[in-house]
Each structure stands twice: as structure tokens, then as C-alpha cells.
Structure 1
Amino acid sequence: MTTLTDIMTSELTTVDRGATLKEVALLMREQDIGNVLIMDGDTLVGIITDRDIVIRAVAYGHDLGTAASDYATGEVFSMDAATTVAEAAAEMAARQLRRLPVTRDGQVVGIVSLADLATRTQTGADEQALQGISQPTI
């Protein structure tokens, strides 16, 4: 069975909770990524996406010098690296998540995106598990 370890991106882009929206946006541009993890030491405290910056801050004319953590999603759901892709996809579908931080022994070691699930999995079971992600909830 394919696990999150097999498909995760292990090169993470992180900032501390004091990083500004502008600093995070520049990192996203430089690294051509859409999300950054916000850390307090070794502890994950939030995740901010390019969409968060645009919808929660820029659209309201907020100062880009403001801490990115003020606009991030806190209490981020994560799963252990040994979790199967099917289990992770089911959880992501149930929670309507597009990104899933991956942990090992409580430390963040990677991240899996919806695109990773779609492009890096090969079994029929994995494909079936993906069907519920990003579907409107009724």
C-alpha cells in the first residue's frame, strides 16, 4: 500500500509566526509555491496559502506588514507519514482539505497536496478515494 511517505513533498517552506504577509508572498513567488507553513520552533501553528493572502488580507486593503499568522489557518489537521494514501484521501475529502501536513513522531516532515494525490498515486483504490475531495458538501 502506498503511504504518505511515498508521495509527500519533503522540502518544506516554513516561517516563524512573526513573518509578515509580504515576506510570505515573496517566498511563494521565489519558490513558485502556493502555501507556507507557520512554525513556532518545531511546532506547526498554521498554514497560509496564496488564496488566504488575497482573500483575507489584500481584498480588504490590509497592511502587508501584518503578521501572516493573523491570516493563516490555525489548528492545522495533519496525519502520520505511515498513513495510507486511501486513508488520507478519505480524511481530506471529509474535511475538504487541499493540503495535508505530514508528521512523524509529532514533527512535520512533509506535505501532501490534492495534486500529489491525483498525480502520484496509481491504484484504482487510490483514485476512488480521491473522488470526494473538493466536492461541494450537501
Structure 2
Amino acid sequence: MARKIQEVMTRDVEVINPNDTLREAAEKMRSLNVGPLPVCDGQRVLGMITDRDIVVRAIALGRDPNTTQVADAMSPGIEYCFDDDDVDDVLERMRDKQIRRVIVVDRNKKLVGIVAIGDLSGEVSEHKVGEALEGISEPSSPNI
């Protein structure tokens, strides 16, 4: 029987509000030792902010992290999966979309966790994980 994402995901995910500043997001990332944070307005997931988003979409453009809001640098419209999705199906989507982590929601679209490629490594064959990592790691076209 196929394993479900709810069996391997990380629960109790820390989130950030879209009105918080980038400095607050960076501090939260530092204290939690993470690179991404889901951006939520209450229970509703609006997007994701990463340490890379902060650097590329704000700092590199000269924006002040003390006043720039998370909403101004986050990635909206992120990929998500349901907690009852099969591990193999989510791994395949991660490969196809070239992403290393996916937000997990319940059927009411309430945030319940996050799953990373590393969470899946012990759940499926090494071959499948290797294929997914190869797909995720393919270079994308630069934004010019």
C-alpha cells in the first residue's frame, strides 16, 4: 500500500504574515535554521518566502529589509499537495516542477505541514529519489 504524505511530512510549521518585514522573516529563518517560510494570513496560505527571495527580490534591488514587507518579496501561487496524497505522486510532481519542498494542506486547504525531498528519501526507492533530484537540479534559464 502506498504511503501518504501525512505519514512523512513535518507538522507544526512556523509561518510568517505577509505584513511582517523582511528583517522579521530573516530573523525567524535564522532562529529556526530554515530557508523557507510559508506566508499565511490566518489559516490561508498565500505563498512562500525564502532566504533567496529576500536577497534577490529585495536586497539586490536596494530595498530596506526593515520596512519592506514579506508580501513584496514572496512567491505567490506556490505548489501544494494534500495530506492524503501518495508519496510517489508528490515526488513525481516535485521532479516535474523542479521544487525541493511542498506545502501540505488538508482537503479544506488548511496548512497542516510541509514535505521536503529529504523527508521522502526513506519512503521510496533510492532510484526514484535520484531521478527526482536529477530533475530538480536541472539548470533553468536565467532571467535576463
Report the TM-score, using the length of structure 2 for normalisation. 0.85
Give the RMSD, CA atoms, in angstroms.
1.9
Identify unmatched segments of 5+ residues in structure 1.
Answer: none
Question: After the TM superposition, which parts of structure 1 deviate over 2 Å for at least 4 consecutive aligned residues?
Answer: 114-118, 120-138
Distance 1:4 1:19, change over 3 A: same
Partner in structure 2 of residue 110 of structure 1: 113
What does 1:33-112 align with in structure 2 at a 5 Å threshold? Answer: 33-64=34-65, 65-105=67-107, 106-112=109-115
TM-superposed CA distance for 1:44, in Å, is 0.3
For residues 128 and 11 of structure 2, the distance between their equivalents in structure 1, rounded to whole angstroms, comes to 21
Identify unmatched segments of 5+ residues in structure 2.
Answer: none
Partner in structure 2 of residue 134 of structure 1: 137
1:86 is aligned with what amino acid?
Answer: D
Secondary structure in 2 matching 1:26: helix
Please say if residues 90 and 132 of structure 1, whose CA atoms lie closer than 8 Å, have aligned partners that are also in contact. no
Secondary structure in 2 matching 1:48: strand
- In percent, how many aligned pairs have the same letter? 31
How many equivalent pairs are there?
137
Please say if residues 17 and 70 of structure 2, whose CA atoms lie closer than 8 Å, have aligned partners that are also in contact. no
